[in-house]
Amino acid sequence: MRTSTHIQSLGFMHKYRKKLCPVKQRKMMDPQSNEDEHQLNNSAIKRYFENTNKGSASSVSMMTHEYNFPTSAATYRLRKEQRTIRKWLDDVDSYGSVLDVGCGAGSWMEIFAKRYNRVIGIDQSNMMVKAANEKLGHLSNVKIINGDVRHDLPKGPFDMIFLGGLCMYLNDADVVELLDALKTRLSESGAIILRESTTSRGKKYAQGQYQAVYRSVNVYNDLFSGSGAFHVDVQRNYGYTNLVTAEELVNLRRRWLPILPKDSISYDSLTWWGLRVIEPISFWALPRTLTQFNIPWPILQNHFFRLRLAK
């Protein structure tokens, strides 16, 4: 996941980069450089998720900590996301086992614990594991493991394996290896569900303290096919992109109205609630209309993917 503050822009996006990507210190790759040569540094990624800076572990996990949106904005996103993949979640047997890979502070595990028989989460951040344990430790069907998903996966089989904003922190080779390992832990009729921030084409990197790679849907499809035969379903995640729209507007305000305080609970909340009031336009008609004209807005999109073993 992550916001427009993190991405570099190419083509259309390049034209608007200066306007849309202000504030934070995060360094983007030089658009001219060979993007394939860049490798993410897992120590930096681990460090980032050990620190709340401002906000709580839960807001860092949901990546809402850099904006002063009300807590209900994160709830809104989660509720809308559940609606988007409701059918996929319904397809999983309620007696089944679920693995949440890169579970963060446990927002999705909480949902899974209510729906399914057994839920295991794994995350490499001590802070996230602690927060998830505080939130869910009392539930008898939940177990949380502190470990690196590249080495410490629990044994399967699982009826659903969920990766919410995880692959963006892994290099391509690690994604393919991870999917290979997850495939062997999937029950015959099981599904891997991923949620990832996406670009309109190619790959873009966030560098510096915050490191991530944003891939297009096509790049993800190539990675999936690199790890074997999957049936792939894709859905746009409007719950997430609506929040990113608000973040991009806050970034614009911070850049173009420097006389206003940069870090303002009132102005940030006002942006969120303003967009919610005109939701049929701001969150429904506008993104769909712009898509018709191939204009990516917000710059960073978000998609859900479902992978099932090809028979």
Residues that bind ligand SAM (CB under 6 A): 1, 42, 45, 49, 61-63, 102-104, 107-108, 123-125, 128, 148-150, 164-166, 169
Contact 65, 49 (CB under 8 A): no
Query: What is the β-pairing status of strands 230-236 and 301-309?
Result: antiparallel
Separation CA 195–CA 156 (nearest Å): 21
Q: How far is the CB of 119 from ligand SAM (least distance, A)?
A: 13
Q: How far is the CB of 305 from ligand SAM (least distance, A)?
A: 14
Q: Is 65 exposed, middle or buried (0-12, 13-18, 19+ CB in 10 A)?
A: middle
Query: Closer CB to ligand SAM, residue 17 or residue 64?
Result: 64
User: Coil, strand, or helix at residue 25?
Assistant: coil
Half-sphere exposure of 68 (CA within 13 A, CB side): 12
Separation CA 244–CA 248 (nearest Å): 6
Of how many residues is the chain composed?
311
Q: How far is the CB of 161 from ligand SAM (least distance, A)?
A: 12
Query: Closer CB to ligand SAM, residue 89 or residue 166?
Result: 166
Q: Identify the helix (H) or strand (E) that includes residue 305.
A: strand 301-309
Query: Closer CB to ligand SAM, residue 17 or residue 210?
Result: 210
Q: How far is the CB of 117 from ligand SAM (least distance, A)?
A: 20
What is the CA angle 158-159-162, rounded to 5? 80
Q: How far is the CB of 186 from ligand SAM (least distance, A)?
A: 18
> Smallest Cα–Cα separation from 163: which of 6, 3, 44, 305?
305
Q: How far is the CB of 296 from ligand SAM (least distance, A)?
A: 21
Query: Closer CB to ligand SAM, residue 80 or residue 255?
Result: 80
Separation CA 42–CA 305 (nearest Å): 24
Token digits for 280? Answer: 């049929």
Q: How far apart are the first and last CA of the chain?
A: 31
Q: Residue 131 corresponds to which amino acid?
A: A
Q: How far is the CB of 260 from ligand SAM (least distance, A)?
A: 29
